[in-house]
Amino acid sequence: MLSKAMQDAINEQIKNELYSAYLYLAMSNYFEEKVLNGFANWMMVQFQEEQGHALRFREYVHDRNGVVVLKAIDQPPVTWASNLKVFQDALEHEKKVTGMIYKLYELALKENDYSTQYILQWFINEQVEEEKNASDIITKLELIDARGTAVLLLDHELSKRKAGE
């Protein structure tokens, strides 16, 4: 069974994961309105992943005979200054989420809650991936701003190369 402190902390994280989903949905909307459907799709996939994270925490609370309390979700922004700014905000948000996961892990350590430590390890690994993905796109967008869109086209062409060709 989860301690009250751990249950409350995970319920807060469920809210945070749902806010993350909401933020990515807003970012997807922003890109769709600019008719950047690939960018919108990327953000929609992120939206779905974040929903999955919230549901994973929800299931875990239930598995430990806890009570899930759904909390109000803040409204995300709806506009950004540039495509680059959207991804910079996404990266900053992911870094914030990483810090939240670390705090949950610290609480699990303090309480000797080994089951929660185990599930949180998956989230820690996931955050490494989330931050890297956003960071890589930022680097590419900065190249586009610095050198023009031809760099992105060449990047796409070079990605098709196979060993031995």
Summarised one tens digit per residue, pLDDT across range 72-112 is 999 999 999 999 999 999 999 999 999 999 999 999 999 99
Q: Can you give the CATH number for the domain in which 115 is found?
A: 1.20.1260.10
Q: Which amino acid is at 55?
A: L
CA dist list (Å): 79 to 30, 135, 145, 164: 6, 20, 19, 45
Q: What is the pTM of this model?
A: 0.89
If one counts the domains in the chain, the total is 1
105's CB contacts (< 8 A; 6+ apart) are 117, 120, 121, 124
Q: Does a structural domain hold residue 165? A: no
Q: Does a structural domain hold residue 163? A: no
Q: Does a structural domain hold residue 9? A: yes
Number of residues in the chain: 165
Q: Does a structural domain hold residue 164? A: no
Could you give the angle at the alpha carbon of 140 between the alpha carbons of 139 and 144, nearest 5°? 120
Q: Does a structural domain hold residue 124? A: yes
Confidence tier at 147 by pLDDT (50, 70, 90): confident
On the question of pLDDT at 134 being above 80, the answer is: yes
For residue 71, give its domain range.
Answer: 4-158
Backbone angles phi and psi of 153, in degrees to 5? -65, -45
